[in-house]
């Protein structure tokens, strides 16, 4: 079941308001008769209906991806063009109907303004679009210019309420996305810390076994060896058995210490899975080795931050729907990260703070980053990271 979020609810509420504005069109005979009484031809009704339907189609298309971040420059220009078209169609409906229906349609337009324009430009646009109705209101027989201005201000108040409600919804959506990203980073870091703590505890236990138990068993074996030369008969037989048991215990302790030291790497699978879960609007296809571990905590942290930056760029800048993220070990003791998305790509790549920071982290541990992109061909990133410090 698709989540019914507040952005979709806001959009559907706007479309419901738009549908209510069209109720007078259902009274065909009455509307046509009023037009004829005012000396207007009956075919004005058809233009009114066409303008009203065109407004709904344009608004539906303009808001179908309401909430997406960082549209391209060309798309932003197209959105502004559609806003102008909505204003024109709303005024056309008001002029043809000789009513305030156009102002109600501009209230619907105010819902989309905060998602397309910044706050200052959006407020200025809202004020101008409402006062653009002054000539229309002033043309009504019983309205003076001052009364028309009061009428525009009244509808401006309704538009302002709608505008700021939509603005708050946008800010909450951005805050939730930032919180989701931070929570994902926190879960991944927590998993990494848990692995580091597990590794530290294993190392401590192995040292304790080696330094304390191992040394005591060695001393016990030496004392038993001396005792075997000082006693005879049945006592010597028991001493020999005790020597054998002590040697077996010492061998077992050494094997346990060796196993603890061999399995002293950090498992990154859980951290990466936490990082890639629940990213809105992006399907991440994660490909990990069967056992994905790294010995160096510092390199594990660098890898985790690189993965986070790749995901962030795919959502914010590439506007991708799919991201393929794979990790692989090479025979020459290197770890490779291959990332590819189906986003919009770029003709000229401008590296921001994120990519610059990724290169800096990689250079500190001897890693490299390679980026390939083109317009409408997505982004491809290849990362090489040595698993051991280079001399």
Q: Is the model's pLDDT at 62 over the cut of 80? A: yes
Token pair for 71: 């549209």
Token pair for 252: 């077992």
Q: Is the model's pLDDT at 258 over the cut of 70? A: no
Q: How would residue 279 be classed by pLDDT, with cut points 50, 70 and 90?
A: confident
* pLDDT tens digits for range 333-368: 778 888 888 877 777 777 777 778 888 888 888 888
Residue 178, pLDDT score: 73
Residue 79, pLDDT score: 87
CA-to-CA distance for 45 and 51, rounded, in angstroms? 10
- Which H or E run includes 45? helix 44-62
Q: Looking at the DSSP assignment, which residues form a beta bridge with residue 294?
A: 266
CA-to-CA distance for 30 and 176, rounded, in angstroms? 49
CA-to-CA distance for 297 and 358, rounded, in angstroms? 17
Residue 153, pLDDT score: 92
How many CB atoms neighbour CB 374 within 10 A?
12
Tokens 């102002």 belong to residue = 103
**In the CATH hierarchy, which fold is given to the domain comprising 266-386?**
Heat Shock Protein 90 (3.30.565)
> Minimal CA–CA distance to 66: which of 145, 140, 130, 13?
13
Instruction: State the sign of the Cα–Cα–Cα–Cα dihedral 141, 146, 150, 153.
Output: positive
For the chain, the average pLDDT equals 78
CA-to-CA distance for 357 and 305, rounded, in angstroms? 9
Q: Is the model's pLDDT at 375 over the cut of 90? A: no
Instruction: State the sign of the Cα–Cα–Cα–Cα dihedral 200, 202, 206, 208.
Output: positive
Residue 304, pLDDT score: 78
DSSP conformation class of 340: E
Strands (E), 48-101: none
Residue 391, pLDDT score: 42
- Residue range 270-276: mean pLDDT, rounded: 74
- Which H or E run includes 287? strand 283-287
* pLDDT tens digits for range 72-107: 567 778 889 999 999 999 999 988 888 888 999 999
> Minimal CA–CA distance to 340: which of 284, 277, 384?
284
Pairing of strands 322-330, 283-287: parallel
Q: At CB < 8 A and 24+ separation, what contacts does 126-129 make? A: 126/156, 126/159, 126/160, 126/163, 127/156, 129/87, 129/90, 129/159
- Residue range 19-31: mean pLDDT, rounded: 84
Q: How would residue 261 be classed by pLDDT, with cut points 50, 70 and 90?
A: low
CA-to-CA distance for 26 and 32, rounded, in angstroms? 11
Token pair for 257: 């210490």
Q: Is the model's pLDDT at 383 over the cut of 50? A: yes
User: 58-67, 171-180, 244-253: which has the highest mean pLDDT?
Assistant: 58-67
SS3 content of the chain, % helix, strand, coil (to 5): 70, 10, 20
* pLDDT tens digits for range 186-232: 766 666 666 566 666 656 665 665 555 656 666 667 766 666 666 76
Please report, in angstroms and rounded to a whole number, the separation of the first and last CA atoms in the chain.
Answer: 55
> Minimal CA–CA distance to 17: which of 116, 105, 115?
105
Residue 164, pLDDT score: 93
User: 11-20, 255-264, 271-280, 370-379: which has the highest mean pLDDT?
Assistant: 11-20
**Is residue 383 packed enough to be buried (19+ CB in 10 Å), middle (13-18) or exposed (0-12)?**
buried
């Amino acid at each position: 079941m698709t989540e019914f979020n507040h952005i979709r609810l806001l959009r559907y509420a706007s479309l419901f308001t738009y549908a209510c504005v069209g109720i007078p069109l259902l009274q065909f005979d009455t509307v046509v008769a009023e037009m004829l009484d005012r000396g207007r031809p009956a075919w004005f009704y058809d233009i009114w209906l066409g303008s009203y339907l065109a407004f709904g189609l344009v608004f539906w298309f303009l808001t179908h991806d309401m909430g997406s971040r960082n549209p391209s420059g060309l798309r932003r220009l197209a959105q502004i063009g559609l806003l102008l078209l909505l204003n024109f169609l709303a005024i056309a409906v008001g002029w043809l109907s000789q009513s305030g229906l156009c102002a109600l349609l501009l209230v619907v337009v105010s819902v989309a303004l905060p998602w397309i324009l910044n706050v200052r430009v959006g407020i200025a646009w809202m004020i101008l679009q409402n006062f653009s109705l002054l000539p229309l209101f002033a043309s009504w027989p019983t309205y003076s210019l001052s009364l028309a201005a009061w009428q525009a201000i009244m509808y401006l108040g309704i538009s302002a309420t709608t505008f700021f409600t939509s603005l708050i919804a946008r800010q909450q959506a951005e805050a939730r996305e930032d919180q989701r990203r931070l929570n994902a980073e926190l879960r991944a870091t927590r998993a990494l810390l848990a692995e580091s703590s597990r590794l530290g505890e294993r190392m401590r236990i192995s040292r304790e076994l080696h330094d304390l138990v191992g040394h005591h068993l060695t001393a016990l074996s030496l004392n038993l060896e001396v005792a075997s030369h000082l006693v005879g008969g049945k006592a010597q037989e028991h001493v020999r058995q005790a020597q054998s048991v002590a040697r077996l215990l010492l061998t077992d302790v050494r094997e346990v210490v060796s196993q603890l030291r061999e399995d002293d790497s950090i498992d990154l699978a859980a951290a990466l899975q936490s990082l890639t879960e629940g990213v809105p609007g992006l399907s991440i296809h994660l490909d990990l080795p069967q056992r994905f571990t790294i010995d160096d905590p510092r390199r594990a942290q660098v890898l985790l931050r690189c993965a986070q930056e790749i995901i962030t760029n795919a959502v914010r800048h590439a506007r991708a729907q799919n991201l393929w993220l794979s990790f692989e070990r090479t025979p020459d003791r290197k770890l490779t990260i291959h990332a590819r998305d189906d986003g919009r790509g770029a003709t000229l790549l401008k590296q921001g703070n994120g990519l610059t920071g990724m290169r800096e982290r990689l250079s500190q541990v001897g890693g490299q980053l390679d980026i390939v992109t083109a317009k409408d061909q997505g982004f491809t990133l290849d990362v090489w990271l040595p698993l051991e410090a280079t001399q």
